[in-house]
Amino acid sequence: MRAPDWAIDPTELEALFSAKTKLIIFNTPHNPTGKVFNRTELELIARLCQKYDVIAVSDEVYEYILFDGQQHQLMAQIPGMADRSITISSLGKTFSTTGWKIGWTIASPELTNAVFRSHQFITFAGAHPLQEAAAIAFDMAHTEGYFEFLREDYQEKRDFLTGALNAAGLPSIKPAGTYFVMVDISQLGFANDIEFCRYLTKEVKVAAIPPSAFYHNPADGAGIARFTFCKKMETLELAAERLAAWAAKV
């Protein structure tokens, strides 16, 4: 996946599969890029999984944070993938409760048993009251229009932040999902993303994340910075003011 559209190269992807490949893990909507895999891309991954007898672990924790009318598509719903997919989701991203550590997997009985055997050695148990609260949250969300509100609120903030970044001379790639924005910093004269993010935090008082940590080859992410808009609008407005003041001086 490469900017600006984060498209998958089918030939490059298949070259990573072999008879030794047992499992592929991918994330849609995707952190840190904000990409949402389309049907064609999911079908490509599904075809390769079936061709090489591979299990797909699909991390879909941002499934309710999509923009511009997009609908979430599950890998498990692609023909032939129901019995070779493990879908992961979470309460944390949708309801801003990341500290609760409430999540789940959906898979066939055989794969679910395998997940259970692994899970019992990783953590003991989730807090029961929080699991009860999670069930109530989803019931209320469906009846009170929470998911629609979530998308509309984040889309407004996405548009505001990308506009502010662009105005400050930080070309942004508008995300299709999640609450992250990737920005091209390759022409700003910094050695890498870590140096830029440290400078921005200290001197401009606006924090960004160096995304090179997400890359197999960190150098591939050295010319990009990640911002987020899962904040109050007042916070985003203050960040926009500081970025504008910085841009006026450089």
Burial status of residue 1 (CB atoms within 10 A of its CB: 0-12, 13-18, 19 or more): middle
Q: Where are the domains of the chain?
A: 10-144, 147-249
Domain covering 10-144: architecture: 3-Layer(aba) Sandwich (3.40)
Task: Supply 229's token pair.
Answer: 């808009």
Give the lowest-confidence range in 61-75, 92-106, 113-127.
113-127
The C-alpha angle 57, 134, 36, rounded to 5 degrees, equals 40
Question: 129-139: string of b/e by CB count within 10 Å (b at 16+)?
Answer: eeeeebeebee
Domain covering 147-249: architecture: Alpha-Beta Complex (3.90)
Distance CA 244, CA 249 (A): 9
Contacts of 90 (CB under 8 A, 6+ apart): 61, 102, 103, 104
pLDDT of residue 119: 87
Q: Give mean pLDDT, residues 2-26.
A: 94
pLDDT-derived band of residue 120, with 50, 70 and 90 as boundaries? confident
* pLDDT tens readout for residues 19-52: 999 999 999 999 999 999 999 999 999 999 999 9
Distance CA 238, CA 231 (A): 11
CB 6 within 8 A of CB 30: yes
Helices (H), the chain: 10-14, 39-51, 91-95, 109-119, 128-144, 146-167, 193-199, 233-249
- Write down the pTM of the prediction: 0.92
Distance CA 181, CA 170 (A): 11
pLDDT of residue 23: 97
Domains 10-144 and 147-249 share a fold: no
Contacts of 20 (CB under 8 A, 6+ apart): none
